[in-house]
Structure 1
């Protein structure tokens, strides 16, 4: 379960920006849109949140920050010394260009709260820390800080970090400057840190505008879970009678002879031994007989919804966290509402999965769908730095204020400032 994310000095985010799914006061939509965490005293979380803002305001950079954090956690231990990290600081201020970017996320695994973060430049990690709250009391499991004077890290491995002294020393000495201690220790068999690593690997799912692709949903259609995908599509009023998946091993001979050799080698290396899935959709004609269509013949909206089927089903069944950029893209507003309400319904979301997304779709910006603390805005200030802030900063009237109208009229900011053009025409 996701609780909070803080990002500092990353791309368009300069000052520390905080995004939270902690429920505020107010009982509106409490049963459907929020839930209590029994293991943490008085903690209530939200099942979803939406972020509005104009193009180029930094919404995607905020999601990219968490994506970058996930990438470094999962991959840094496997990199080589000297490999660069995918870090870009805020470049529009001379004071921040050379400073490290900082990321911190707070989440729950099996009822235990974790607070994990690190700061880094593209060359190396500068700081890393992990605080854990079993029984709601903080434990410092480890911290490391780069000392510029000595060109070494200052370490503190807490007494609550499990492992023999010799084993901890191995984890510490094996951690390169451009790698995370968390990732290295898990690679060297730290069972205690495995749940933290696994949250990034298994529980956190992020997608850009193009979604996840079709492979996840196609895999489900190859086994007994195909009925779930069909039910998902039928509930969204997508008129497909059946789906067929034809699989074959990747064959390099299928690549175009006109493709550059260097590109061809990369594709062959990445696809060697992997399955190729060809998706076919079945529609019935006017006489009720099945007609086979290539998946590419379907509309962009149908393909987009199919790509969401697998992640939606998996997340709702297992209580995962989804971050999606521009959920509305190629989807009718009623389909967007359908996807959101699957998370808001305790029957379809029994394990409290969470959905966080950006959108320009304002028809869902109302108090029948969202609590006031579920709505966030994103805009750039005069220094071209991204600012993220919640609707609750404006104290809108409960159940009475027309949020869509107020937003489009400029009350909450986060709107594009469109200038008139005369000379161009």
Structure 2
């Protein structure tokens, strides 16, 4: 679960900004929370703001962090510091996460000098309400490095120190990443070291970031045949007119005509990597797959028991009107099909972050989808964080006060994040009207032409 994110000096975000999924003082709709003796955590949050306010840049910052952890410092980001102030070129950019993994809480983060494409700091702590325990810390700007007292076994501590000494002055790599390169055998026998794998896997498997133009995502729940009836009933509830669907083999010519060769290669390379990992970690190959989205098409790439990659697509029935390919469905129907996994997700601890969730959706359909998500939560350990312009969601009949966030462009052209919680609005307040009238800022400012 995601607790907090802190970002500084990245794209339109200048000074340190904090986003939190901790419950505030709002009393209603406690079923939206994941409650415990330690913390009450929100399972939904919506970010509002004018175009170019920085909503997507906040998502970009989380996405960048994930890429650095999983793949190393990416190319093309040396100019992505906040350029509203020319001094920011030589200042570090800060990326920090408070997360819950296996009922423990951690603070992990790093800093990078984007202009020089180098890592300058990195740290990991286990935290609780009263104290924190250092696991490791690297400060390459001061040549200060330390391993905490987290590891009790002397042999394990020696092993960590060996890896740490090899990498502590390496400005090109994160220690968390190094501890997850070709070390699957290590984690089978060194139980205390599993913390490195758990934190890394949170970023790799639990954090699911989606943009409107993102071409493919992880294997969707929508594609599991065992749940066809349940999925169909949900699709039908959204008024799509679909009466049935079936998954069929995709034709090679359809794939060739719809998917660029380079993208198709990326998909297959991605699946091949997962096959290698599955063999090493004894993961069933049938759990591997990708959902590829084009302008009109859906293609499902899955792996059978013999590790062969199969490509499927979807056909839909509309009562007596016949069978239709997915490319013949409306943009709104296809958008619902992209999002429907969230309603059925059995993958506890998954955090879905979706930019422009209302794209191609009727306002009432956006409202219905969010309402369905909130009603489906039960005891699930999942979270949904969205950016949107849909003001109808600003309704205390639907959302809690602390589930609503704003992103506003300040006078010095920097993005600022803040929660509706700070305004302490009454439960009967017409928030959507107040928002559009500018009470909370985060709306467009129009100039006369």
TM-score range for the pair, normalised by the shorter chain length: 0.7 to 0.9
CA pair 249-330 structure 1, distance change in 2 beyond 3 A:
closer
**What is the TM-score normalised by the length of structure 2?**
0.80
Aligned to 2:14: 14
- What RMSD over aligned residues (CA atoms) do the two structures have, in Å? 2.8
- Structure 1 residue 334 displacement after superposition: 2.5
For residues 15-414 of structure 1, what are the structure 2 equivalents within 5 Å? 15-29=15-29, 31-38=30-37, 40=38, 43-76=39-72, 84=75, 86=77, 88-122=80-114, 123-133=117-127, 137-147=131-141, 153-161=143-151, 163-174=156-167, 176-187=170-181, 188=183, 189=186, 190-210=193-213, 213=216, 216-217=219-220, 220-247=222-249, 254=256, 264=261, 267-268=264-265, 271=268, 274-285=309-320, 291-314=322-345, 318-345=348-375, 348-396=377-425, 398-414=426-442
- Structure 1 residue 356 displacement after superposition: 1.1
Contact residue 72 and residue 85 of structure 1 kept, 8 A: no
Aligned to 2:444: 416
Partner of 2:367, secondary structure, is helix
**What is the TM-score normalised by the length of structure 1?**
0.84
Partner of 2:440, secondary structure, is coil
Partner of 1:159, secondary structure, is coil
The CA deviation string for residues 267-287 of structure 1, in whole angstroms up to 9 with x for no partner, is 54754775433221122216x
- Structure 1 residue 412 displacement after superposition: 0.9
Q: Distance in 1 between matches of 2:204 and 2:255?
A: 34
Q: Distance in 1 between matches of 2:218 and 2:96?
A: 31
Q: Distance in 1 between matches of 2:398 and 2:54?
A: 25
Contact residue 243 and residue 318 of structure 2 kept, 8 A: yes
- Structure 1 residue 171 displacement after superposition: 4.4
Q: Distance in 2 between matches of 1:133 and 1:215?
A: 31
Contact residue 216 and residue 310 of structure 1 kept, 8 A: no
- Structure 1 residue 237 displacement after superposition: 2.6
- Structure 1 residue 318 displacement after superposition: 2.1
The CA deviation string for residues 341-372 of structure 1, in whole angstroms up to 9 with x for no partner, is 23423x54322321111111111111111111
Partner of 2:60, secondary structure, is helix
Q: Distance in 2 between matches of 1:293 and 1:172?
A: 60
Partner of 1:141, secondary structure, is strand
Query: How many aligned positions are there?
Result: 395
The CA deviation string for residues 73-126 of structure 1, in whole angstroms up to 9 with x for no partner, is 1112xx8xxx74746210121110122211101111121011110001242111
Contact residue 407 and residue 417 of structure 2 kept, 8 A: yes
CA pair 270-317 structure 1, distance change in 2 beyond 3 A:
closer
Contact residue 95 and residue 111 of structure 2 kept, 8 A: yes
Contact residue 281 and residue 294 of structure 1 kept, 8 A: yes
Deviates more, 1:116-125 or 1:271-280: 271-280
Q: Distance in 1 between matches of 2:40 and 2:167?
A: 39
Partner of 1:126, secondary structure, is strand
